Structures are given as structure tokens and as C-alpha cells.
Amino acid sequence: MPTSPVLWTSTKLREATRGELSGAVQVRGVCIDTRTLQPGDLFIALIGHNSDGHRYLKQALEAGASCVMAHDEAAIAEAGLTDDPRLLKVTDTMQALEDLGRYRRSQFQGKVIAITGSVGKTTTKNMLATALAAYGKVHASVASFNNHWGVPLTLARLPKEADFCISEVGMNHPGEIAPLAAQIRPHIGIISTIGNAHLGHMGSIDAIAEEKAALFAALPASGIALCPEASQGLARLKEALPAGVSLWQVGTTEKATIQLTDLTCTAEGSHLHLLTPQGETDMELTAPGPHLARNAALALGTIAALGLSPAAGAEALRHFLPEAGRGQQRLLPGNVTLLDESYNASGPSICAAIETLALMPAERHVAALGDIRELGAFAEAEHRALAGPLIKHDILTFCCGPHMKSLYEALPPSLQGGYAETSVQLASLLHPALKDGDALLVKGSLGSNMRALIALLEQPVTTTPHAPESA
């Protein structure tokens, strides 16, 4: 196996963090969790709500870390590392992680793209990373590393030889995007959607648009901002643009900078034709769903914003497949096709998933839905509003969670498959009800634990379990 290139040297670590490091080390990766640590990594002992990385300093070195960063002197002494040449001692590890990210960003000569959005930011990021690989070396956020530690970690891992850096930016409270965008300093900013995710914390769609607009406000005068032409809060996004920044809208009208034409969506995937300032291209996606086609258009629009012809990117996206929890399809025991959307949920993303489910050939279309979290006082109304799409597509629906009970009660009896308080309890209702040839959508917020339901569905039914009474 080839050795990873050196990412940080002792000199650069000291310069970036202003920390104390007596030894000569070579760092090939940056890690904050010993469970994912690779030999040659720098292990950073962050302090979180429920954990303290200082407890794992010795374990990190035993696992092959070339260097450990820490600030707790008592923990350092307890681990026997006070005079260890592999110890990078700093004033505060979280601040030092940000310092690493800022230092690496200041040295980077490639193009930097930042993506936020209520729905679709991770998939759009993954699509863009896939497409941009046709033009050069790409460094992108891992998974959904988009918060106060995920963004600087992405930057701290940025190889100097990369051509493109893609950073995802998340939020669920006011004031979170601006400081992250200031660290990223993007050349191009993308807002995938503005929707009702985190509505309970934010209070209104206008407040969400205001927060998302902070990404566009961070762009330089030569920057380009991209968003769907039908974005909610579009006026606020335009107001946030600094002088000289261009707004490229992606949509189906002639006014759109990136124009989708001939969009056709089937169970096998999507076809679309794209018109951009850098030329036009046809694109075939093997992953179904109109929302994925729109995400792909944003990704190819970004390639055009970089001054590149989108054709090679379109070809690279031809075989793009969503990740588990984000639209992946696979077969469950009993010949049931699973549409796995279990990672997270919002009203718009559930509606998009329902549209994709309806495209899938099946004897029956079935949905298992868990609560959408962080909606506050808007929860009951937002959940009940999902009844319309389910009724339209005649989807037999199973629900779990206190908020989803509102949706369940809004459905006609013919579409009420069963209700339970938790995802695990719902599995005992859903599992025996599934039939050969069904297509099943599973979706809910991360806190709804719909992954546990899928894990139970992946086990063959051997006996009929006792089911809780349905509502």
C-alpha cells in the first residue's frame, strides 16, 4: 500500500498553532477519534459535550499516531507524555484545530467551494467531488463534517497539491455559518435549498434564508454564488451579495444562468440537458429522483462557474450512486426493495423521497417515516402537510414518533399501515406486513433512529412478533 504524502511537518505545526513540540514528526493525516485513527496521523484531543480526547492520548500513540495535540497538563502527565517528543502542547486544542485550518487555507493555491442548504448539501457535495475529479485532484469534507469542528478539520486535512477543496457548511442555530465561512474563504458558494429544517430553532423561513445568506456574504468580489432559481428567500440572498459577486441561478426558465431542459425522470434514473456559460451538455444519471437531477445541475453549474466545460463532469456523474441513508437502494429479505433515506429528514426532503419512491416499479409502495426533529411549535402542521403527497401516490404508510402521529391520523384508513412510538417498535408492525415485490421508503431525522428499523428489517421473519396496538 502506498504511503500517504506528508501533510504537516513539525515546523509547520509549530508555526500554525504556536504550540510546543520538541520532536521531529511527519503527519500524514489529522484525526479526532482514535476509532478512525491511521498510522502517521496527528491526534487532536478535543473536548466535547460527552467526551474528552485527552483520555485517549496514550491509546492514540499506541495505535500509531505520529503526534498528539493536547492542552490539559494533568491529562498529559497522567499519560506519561510530559517530555514526549511527539506531544504538541497548545493553549486550547479547539482553537489550535482552527489555527491549523486557517494556516492551510492561507497556503492553498487551488479553488475553494463551500456548500450549505436545508436539504441536499451532502449529496450535492458528493456529486461535485465526483464530477470535479475529472478535472484535477479534489479534497472534500468527509461524510457530514460541516460544523464547528468539521469545517476546520476538513481544512486541516487539505493537501497542498489539491486543485479543488469542497467544504460543507451546516447550521441549526443563528450565527453559525458566518464564522465557518470566514475560515473557508470560498471562491464559490452554493446554497442547495432553503427549507424548513431547524425551523423550531430559527423561527421562520426568512430567518433561515438570513442565516444561509451569510455564506454568500463571505464571497470575494470575484466570487460566484449559485442557488436554485426558485429558492425561498431569494431576495435576501441577493441582498447579501458583496459588490462584484455574480449570482448564478439554476433552473428551468430562460432567465436561469444554468438552464435545465428536457428533464425526464424514470425508475432507472434521469436524463437532462444543461445549458451553461461554458457550453451545454447532456447528462444521464443512473440514480432516480428529480431532486438528484437538480443536485447534479448545481454541481455541473459549479464546474461552469470555475470556467470549465461541464461535459467531462457530466460523464463522471453518469454512474453516481447515493450513499446509505441518503437514497441508496438495496434488496431486503423477502424481495422488498429498500429506498434508504434514514440519515435525516425535513419536510421537503421527505416529499422528494416520496416522489422517488413513486417512480420505483413495485406491487405496493410503502413508507416508514420517523419524526422530523427541531421544528418546535411548527411540528404538528409540518408533519400533517406530508399527507397530501402520500395520498397522491397511494403510499401505505407506517409512522413512529410523537410528531408523526399527526401525519398518521391525517391519512385515510386505507393508507394507515401502523403506528408505534419508536422505530424499534414500528419494526414489529412493519416487518410481517411487507410483501414480495414491495418498494419501501425509510426516512426520518437522525434522532428518530430509523437505522435501527432497517437493521431489524434486514433480519428474516421467523416468527410473528408481538406488535404494539396501532393507532
Determine the Cα–Cα distance for residues 348 and 178; give it in Å rounded to an integer: 25
Residue 462's pLDDT band, with cuts at 50, 70 and 90, is: low
Neighbours of 425 (CB within 10 A): 16
Determine the Cα–Cα distance for residues 316 and 314; give it in Å rounded to an integer: 5
What are 99-118's pLDDT values in tens digits?
999 999 999 999 999 999 98
pLDDT at position 467 = 38
Residue 341's pLDDT band, with cuts at 50, 70 and 90, is: very high
Based on its alpha-carbon atoms, the radius of gyration of the chain, rounded to whole angstroms, reads 24
Q: Find, among 274, 445, 292, the residue nearest to 359 by Cα.
A: 292
Q: What is the mean pLDDT of residues 362-384?
A: 94
Neighbours of 43 (CB within 10 A): 29
What are 18-69's pLDDT values in tens digits?
999 999 999 999 999 999 999 999 999 999 888 999 999 999 999 999 999 9
Q: What is the mean pLDDT of residues 60-82?
A: 97
Q: What is the mean pLDDT of residues 340-345?
A: 93
Task: Answer whether residue 292 shows pLDDT above 50.
Answer: yes
Q: What is the mean pLDDT of residues 241-266?
A: 95
3-state DSSP percent of the chain in helix, strand and coil, to 5: 35, 25, 40
DSSP 229-244: TT-TTHHHHHHHPPTT
Q: What is the mean pLDDT of residues 414-424?
A: 98
Tell me the average pLDDT of the chain: 93
Task: Answer whether residue 400 shows pLDDT above 90.
Answer: yes
Q: What is the mean pLDDT of residues 344-356?
A: 93
pLDDT at position 461 = 56
pLDDT at position 214 = 96
Q: What is the mean pLDDT of residues 124-144?
A: 95
Predicted TM-score of the model (pTM): 0.90
> Can you read off the three cell numbers belonging to residue 54?
485527552
In this structure, are strands 328-332 and 336-341 parallel, antiparallel, or unpaired?
antiparallel
Q: Average the pLDDT over each of 126-130, 204-208, 225-229 and give the range with the smallest value.
A: 204-208
Task: Answer whether residue 470 shows pLDDT above 70.
Answer: no
Q: What is the 3-state secondary structure (H, E, C) of 47-101?
A: ECCCCEHHHHHHHHHHCCCCEEEECCHHHHHHCCCCCCCCEEECCCHHHHHHHHH
Task: Answer whether residue 138 shows pLDDT above 90.
Answer: yes
* Residues tagged in the binding site annotation for ATP: 117-123
pLDDT at position 113 = 98
pLDDT at position 297 = 96
Task: Answer whether residue 196 shows pLDDT above 90.
Answer: no
Determine the Cα–Cα distance for residues 18 and 12; give it in Å rounded to an integer: 10
pLDDT at position 2 = 61
* Residues tagged in the binding site annotation: 117-123
Task: Answer whether residue 471 shows pLDDT above 80.
Answer: no
